[in-house]
Homo-oligomer: A and B are copies of this chain.
Amino acid sequence: MTATALDDDATAPAGSDDLLSLRLWLQLMKCGKTVEAAAGGQLHREHRQSLARFDVLSQLHRLGGGWQTVGDVADAVMASSGNITSLLDRMAADGLVRRRANPADRRSHQIAMTDAGRALFGRMAGGHARWIGDALDGVSERDKKRLIELLVKVRRSVENAASPEPSGS
């Protein structure tokens, strides 16, 4: 008996490389879900905030906390335009961020943290980094460095397969 749900499917085509890729994909999804659930649970228990909100505050914290466009924030946290709108609406309703019209482009809106948002992020960030350090305590420094490199390779491969560069760019 194997660890995957797909490895014996009659319509499966190619060689053993597809099977290895499938196993990698399954482990990546499983690991990602596990880490995300654990980290999200920690943020919810300690601060009643979601990972998505923490990501937005982290991005707004970068570059000194100045105004950033909605699109820049959406790209940074990998949220769709429809999604970031409602997320920022709720965060603004909770007094964590505020909007203003972009003075340079009237199509565009900008976002920044409020004082309350900055204070909340200050309380969250240190504890979150410490929690992650504890959670990854069972992984050696060498393995962490190798993993970071390999994860970047995977991401590049997937992004490249999704929209391959024309050969002469």
Measured CB to CB, the residues of A under 8 A from B are: 5-6, 9-14, 17-25, 27-39, 58-59, 61-62, 78, 122-123, 125-126, 128-130, 132-139, 141, 143-148, 150-162
Contacts and interface: CB of A to CB of B under 8 A. Distances in A.
A147 B148 contact: no
B5 A144 contact: no
Given A9-B122, A24-B147, A31-B154, A130 B14 contact: yes
A130 to B, nearest CB: 6
Given A6-B128, A25-B35, 16 more contacts: A5-B61, A5-B62, A11-B126, A12-B126, A14-B130, A18-B132, A23-B144, A31-B154, A34-B155, A35-B155, A38-B159, A135-B158, A138-B156, A138-B160, A139-B153, A147-B154
B30 A29 contact: no
A158 B34 contact: yes
A13 B129 contact: yes
